[in-house]
Amino acid sequence: MITTQKFGNTGHLSTRTIFGAAALGNVSQNDADKTLDVLLKYGINHIDTAAGYGDSELRIGPWMEKHRAKFFLATKVFRRRYNETREQIEQSLERLQVSSIDLIQLHNLTDPRSWDRVMGENGALKALIEAREQGLVKYIGVTGHGYGVAEIHIRSLERFEFDSVLLPYNYIMMQNPKYAADFENLLKICQDRGIAFQTIKSLARRPWGKKEKKWDTWYEPLKVQTNIDRVVHWVLNREGIFLNTSSDIRLLPKILDAANRFEKGPLDEEMQKKATQLDMKPIFEGRNLLFE
């Protein structure tokens, strides 16, 4: 059974494994429906999508009419200015076929110039706060990629009391001393203040490089069940955090199967051996992914 825990101060008990609906960005409605049915099988009760995930919101929309009450529904905006963000929120509500969203998040807020625009007088944050006041959204979060994200999330939390954060967490990234220190600082802040802590990129093996991309992930993922077990269990071994699933529907059943069989125990030594054996490498190479 995939366990649940409080999603920060929201009061919602979310499954520790959250469905990352980027996996629905480029699939048919039939495949999306089958994928969403897998969530019911494993009792997943939290969906995380974004306006920038292709057709993901459109694929979730028809399903929400029947299943809305069963899920904590989160999406993201990638616009940076007030007017454009207001429009994007309205579009997401329409695409998702809902009257309100549980969590709206600023998508990949890592670039300092974008950060200034978002936090400014006519920035995106103003639109999110207004939408919350109008009952269109309940909670507000912030997400990001790259090695600088934890540090910038700390800066964001100094400016505004976000309800959740989202950032990468895997064994290889945590071997970077600066990122590990920033990650730990951010996690402590979030735990002290009751801010939900979501993680991504658990299945990242290494960059694609010149290889043919056979999976709908922008990094080469782990594919074998035993390897997926190791990395999923390594993430879930860290108490108080959530794991968001990867962006390929073929990987979802394997991730949920691994999460369903999770038992807490020491895994660092095993992960070190596995990382060497699988030639795991950082996927960001010191860069932040910009989402202007």
Residue 288 lies in a domain: no
Each residue's pLDDT tens digit, 106-134: 999 999 999 999 999 999 999 999 999 99
**Can you give the pLDDT at residue 141?**
98
Q: What's the alpha-carbon Rg for the chain, to the nearest Å?
A: 18
Write down the mean pLDDT value for the chain.
Answer: 95
Q: Provide the residue range defining the domain that includes 250.
A: 4-277
**CATH of residue 106:** 3.20.20.100
Each residue's pLDDT tens digit, 245-263: 999 999 999 999 999 999 9
| pLDDT over threshold 90, residue 90 | yes
Residue 111 lies in a domain: yes
Each residue's pLDDT tens digit, 165-178: 999 999 999 999 99
Residue 284 lies in a domain: no
Bridge partners of 75?
A: 104
Confidence of residue 160 (pLDDT cuts 50, 70, 90): very high
Residue 214 lies in a domain: yes
| Count of domains observed in the chain | 1
Cα separations in angstroms, 20 against 14, 63, 148: 13, 16, 22
Residue 292 lies in a domain: no
Each residue's pLDDT tens digit, 71-87: 999 999 999 999 999 99
**Can you give the pLDDT at residue 291?**
40
By residue count, the chain amounts to 292
**Can you give the pLDDT at residue 286?**
54
Residue 43, sorted as left (phi over 0), alpha (psi -120 to 50) or beta, turns out to be left
Angle, CA of 157, 162 and 163, to the nearest 5°: 135
Confidence of residue 17 (pLDDT cuts 50, 70, 90): very high
pTM assigned to the model? 0.96
Residue 208 lies in a domain: yes
Residue 265 lies in a domain: yes
Residue 285 lies in a domain: no
